Amino acid sequence: MKKNEELFALIKAMSKSEKRNFRLESAQFKGSAKYIKLFDAIDSSDEYDEQQIKTLFKNDKSLRQFHVLKNYLKQAILKSLRSFHAKRSKQVELNDCLSNLNILFNKELFQLCEVEVKKAERIAVEYDLFSGLNEVQNWKRKLAQTKDPSNFSLFKQILQQQIDSVERLKNQHSYYQLITDLSESIIAGYKGPIPNEELLEDINNASSFESGVIHCNARYFKAVNLGNADETKECLNDLIAFFELHKNKLEQYPGLYISSMNNAISYFVFTVDYDTALKMIVQLQDFYDRIKLQKENITLLKQALRMYNLELEIYRQLQAESENKDKIESIHLTVEKAMNKMPDSYLISFWFQLANIYFVLEDFKTALKFLNKIMDNNFGDTRSDIQLHARILNLMVHFELNNLFVLRYFVESAKRMAKKVPYDQQFLKKLLSCFSKLGQLSPSDFKAVFIELKTLIANNDLITKEHINLSTGYINYNRWLEKRGIS
């Protein structure tokens, strides 16, 4: 991103409610017309063209210091965003208390300072905000020294509290260092001991909620890496139990909770324990409803979309029974509303999942609608694996719709995409050859092609371990062939 595009990116990242709040706040201040004019001009632009925007101010003195106007607008937006989100974050609330303390202390309003210190300390202690707690305790000591300069025992007591809060902060850092080293070692294929690993011996080593969550996740990652299924499941159960024990902290750490739950759901989907996964999804959806997940929090929104993707995966594996149609359509509508905030990789994955599900439901026209969304957009190399399988599923859909005359054309499209993925090209060539034949043979000869395809899928000599997902993970060919009478 170029420096002159930073303001454009900031405005485009704002939600409708954030923009509305900014305009309402700005309208209250005299002289805001110029930067509101600039805000609206940028907001209505699809691309940032500074020269074009400057033409709006050609007869205005502001043009001489256009960079000053842009910076003024940027700071006004950030101030508005801070105000808008103030009630949603205890960290922001604590920061406000600390700002108040600085002002009140300098005015020697010490009694008001003491009220603010008590409030700030309560927030910091309750929500494990240790760096802020240390700063609050610093103000607490200053106030004590001002009130009674010779009360050394009290000063020492407060200093000890500061040492304790620093130690708890160090404990968090140790756990973050541990999970970082563990993740790095897993990627590198190293299975030996790592620094701070002794922390995993007992959950009581974690001195805060955040450390406890990391403790459970680190144990889980380690168990998965070692291939210990029983230990993995025990770790996830411990994680869920830990969340149950600290329900009052979940809303303050939504990202930590949601990402951890998604990891657990992913594991249960992977191990085909769909009942447990669906129960956890319901629990997580209830949490979303409770916190009223806001669209402006893109990080949490992406986590929510990951959960919906996992839910679709379950419905696909369960053959997408018709009673799930309402839930599937609800997820589809949720995705459509969040499209402009979703990375391309998420969109491709969602559309493919939906196409796959409607294919299983034999609603081929709807399946084709979602496949076209993938194939008609230029996504480059993003999720080229899914883009390839979308083109293969597209062949199956057109076969079901009896559009045999287009199969040859779409086979060529799939071949071009196949060159972009590191898959077994011999397998792909044979697979696409089967569909090419289906577009040229008479219906009486289809069975022979289906048998050829069945043999290809079953022939493990052609599918190495690295490529096994090519035949089974994206499209259930065997299920399709069974419906075609090939068992």
The answer to whether residue 268 sits within a structural domain is: no
112 and 142 in a single domain? The answer is yes
67 and 133 in a single domain? The answer is no
351 and 487 in a single domain? The answer is yes
Average pLDDT, the chain: 85
User: CA dihedral in degrees (462, 468, 472, 473; nearest 10)?
Assistant: -160
432 and 397 in a single domain? The answer is yes
The answer to whether residue 79 sits within a structural domain is: yes
Where in 123-267 does DSSP place strands (E)?
none
Asked whether residue 430 carries a pLDDT value surpassing 90, the answer given is: no
104 and 93 in a single domain? The answer is yes
Distance CA(470)–CA(424), nearest Å, equals: 8
140 and 17 in a single domain? The answer is no
pLDDT grade, residue 458 (50/70/90)?
Answer: confident
- Averaged pLDDT, 301-314: 86
Burial of 219 (0-12, 13-18, 19+ CB in 10 A): buried
The answer to whether residue 168 sits within a structural domain is: no
Burial of 78 (0-12, 13-18, 19+ CB in 10 A): exposed
The answer to whether residue 347 sits within a structural domain is: yes
At 135-175, the pLDDT tens digits run 999 999 999 999 899 999 999 999 999 999 999 999 999 99
pLDDT grade, residue 462 (50/70/90)?
Answer: very low
118 and 22 in a single domain? The answer is no
- The percent of residues above 90 in pLDDT, for the chain, comes to 34
- Averaged pLDDT, 241-256: 88
* Last-in-domain residue among 87, 117, 141: 87
Q: Tally the domains of the chain.
A: 3
The residue type of 430 is K
Give the dihedral sign, CA 90/95/99/101: positive
Asked whether residue 394 carries a pLDDT value surpassing 60, the answer given is: yes
69 and 119 in a single domain? The answer is no
The answer to whether residue 287 sits within a structural domain is: no
* Last-in-domain residue among 130, 150, 170: 150
Find out whether 159 and 141 touch, Cβ atoms under 8 Å: yes
Residue 82: what pLDDT? 79
Asked whether residue 396 carries a pLDDT value surpassing 90, the answer given is: yes
Q: Which residues have CB under 8 Å from 264's CB, separation 6+?
A: 220, 236, 239, 240, 280
Lowest mean pLDDT among 122-136, 234-248, 291-305: 291-305
Q: Which residues have CB under 8 Å from 172's CB, separation 6+?
A: 130, 207, 208, 210, 211, 214
Residue 116: what pLDDT? 93
474 and 370 in a single domain? The answer is yes
Residue 293: what pLDDT? 63
38 and 112 in a single domain? The answer is no
Question: Could you list the residue range(s) of the whole structural domain that residue 446 is in?
Answer: 343-487
The answer to whether residue 285 sits within a structural domain is: no
- Averaged pLDDT, 59-80: 78
79 and 121 in a single domain? The answer is no
Task: For 183-201, give one letter per residue: b (16+ CB within 10 A) or e.
Answer: eebbeeeeeeebebeebbe
At 263-298, the pLDDT tens digits run 999 999 888 898 999 999 999 988 888 877 655 577
* Last-in-domain residue among 87, 118, 138: 87
Asked whether residue 460 carries a pLDDT value surpassing 60, the answer given is: no
Residue 9: what pLDDT? 84
81 and 97 in a single domain? The answer is no
The answer to whether residue 43 sits within a structural domain is: yes
The answer to whether residue 479 sits within a structural domain is: yes
Asked whether residue 370 carries a pLDDT value surpassing 90, the answer given is: yes
Asked whether residue 473 carries a pLDDT value surpassing 70, the answer given is: no
User: Which of the pair, 220 or 420, is modelled with greater confidence?
Assistant: 220
- Averaged pLDDT, 6-10: 85
